[in-house]
Amino acid sequence: MTLAFKGFAEIERGFRQAAVATARGEARAVRRTGVTIVANQSRAIAQIANMKIGAIKAQLVTKTQPTPDRPRVVFEVKSKGIPLKEFNGTRQTKKGVSVQVLKSQPRQTLRAAFGVAKFSSNYFGRVGVGRKDYASPHVGRLPIKKLYGPSVLSQYVKEPIQAAGRNTWNDRLPVELDRETAFALKKAGLI
């Protein structure tokens, strides 16, 4: 029978290593939870808006990554409108461009709009069409601009999207922290 006794210095060294490894693990857990939050909120926005998930994720940017000293994640949501080409089902018709921006709204036809394959398949339209001061003879003289739908920020601030983020944080963070804590204690030799 072999008995091994550890001295206080060795135990202290193990706890210091565990503290450093736990701080790093906490930052990794927060980072992974942040990635999951972006994915879940993107899916929730895609259920409301008729957008491609890749276009939504491009607008949700992680501004600050967690570190062992500051284990927090900060998101930035861009407020610029999304080009119409990023919406599912947008197509050129004989009467204009047919688009459905929100899934709860009916499909609309933008009569003075057109798509151009030369410019990354974006959709353009005449400024001021439909206003009373621009009668139909002047439509050909109006300036052209790129057409955008609503921004991701306009959907991100809605309560169901915020609830998806809160629920993901509350559900995922304890799981990730448990996993990282067990790994840190094992690496330090305390388990």
Taking the model in full, what pTM does it have?
Answer: 0.77
Could you tell me if 160 and 44 are in contact, meaning their C-beta atoms sit under 8 angstroms apart? yes
Could you tell me if 161 and 153 are in contact, meaning their C-beta atoms sit under 8 angstroms apart? no
113-141 exposure pattern, b = at least 16 Cβ within 10 A, e = fewer = bebeeeeeebbbbbeebeeeebeeeeeee
- Can you give the pLDDT at residue 94? 87
Instruction: Tell me the pLDDT of the chain (191 aa) as tens digits.
Output: 555 556 777 777 777 877 888 888 899 999 999 999 999 999 999 999 988 888 899 999 989 999 989 989 999 999 888 888 888 888 888 888 888 888 888 988 888 788 887 777 788 887 765 555 544 555 556 778 888 888 899 999 999 999 999 999 999 999 999 998 888 878 777 67
Triad 92, 96, 99: Cα angle to 5°: 65
